[in-house]
Amino acid sequence: MFDAIAAWYAGLGPASFFNFKFLPKYAVYFVHGIEYTLLLSVVSVLLAIIPALLLALMRLSKNRFIKGISGAYIAVFRSTPLLVQLSIIYFGPFSVIRLPVVQLFGFVDISRFIPGVIALALNSSAYVAEIFRAGILAVDGGQMEAARSLGLSKWQGMKLVVLPQAVKNILPALANELVTMVKESSIVMALGMQDLMWGAKTVASTTYITLAPYVLAAIIYFCINFPASKAIEAVERRMRRGDQR
């Protein structure tokens, strides 16, 4: 039986789903790709939080000019492809701003990583801003009225009363944005950043095994995102039970 399986595996062609003969030599590409993808995704979402909160507060402003600026930013970044945004940032400002070619951890090129993080963070902030806005609007309006009746200013009421309650509504959606970013970050492969998709493409072009490297990348993405999504769903259910009590 084992001889038959070995013979079948030895006869797999370059277009086979299961031809993982490249792994002993090229597994490091996928290990570094996972590390790069997770680092890029986490840093991008964390950097998006502050501008996203600012954009959300601007959207809630009664000043039409301030509200219009925020709305225009969100509309532009949500209505144009991420690859276009990444290309404009990389070949625009960062063709003038010369970053040092420094390797972090032996495989993270700062001159490419920083433009990638900025592009992803700017894109993510447009989506996270809507998450913040929805979370703030979900808080009962009476909470702000109560804060103002206690002598707090509008800003103090937002900071001390509304935002802490909004966080409960925001956290699951923010975690979902991180899961989405893990998938969307694969676009940086187009500019030679050494993420998981770059590793799969490099292995495919080097070994001429055209399908299995991408199958392996898909499996890795699934193994990262599916458990994370289920964990987020479990947290949401637990939070809903807490609300019902």
Instruction: Return the higher-pLDDT residue of 5 and 32.
Output: 32
CATH 1.10.3720.10 describes domain 16-244 = yes
For 39-77, how does the pLDDT look when each residue is reduced to its tens digit (9 = 90+)? Answer: 999 999 999 989 998 999 899 888 899 999 999 999 999
Residue 68 CB coordination number (10 Å): 13
Distances (CA, A) of 185 to 67, 69, 152: 29, 27, 42
Q: What integer pLDDT is reported at residue 10 of this predicted model? A: 55
pLDDT in tens, 124-175: 999 999 988 888 887 777 777 777 777 777 777 777 777 777 777 788 888 8
Domain range list for the chain: 16-244
What pLDDT score was predicted for residue 173?
Answer: 82
Q: Report the length, in residues, of the chain.
A: 245
3-state secondary structure 46-111: HHHHHHHHHHHHHHCCCCHHHHHHHHHHHHHHHHCCHHHHHHHHHHCHHHHCCCCCCEECCCEEHH
Q: Please check the confidence at residue 1 and state whether its pLDDT lies above 60.
A: no
Tokens 């998450």 belong to which residue? Answer: 131
Q: 192: phi > 0 → left, psi -120 to 50 → alpha, else beta; which? A: left
pTM: predicted TM-score of the whole model, two decimal places: 0.83
CA separation for the pair 70, 81 (Å, rounded): 19
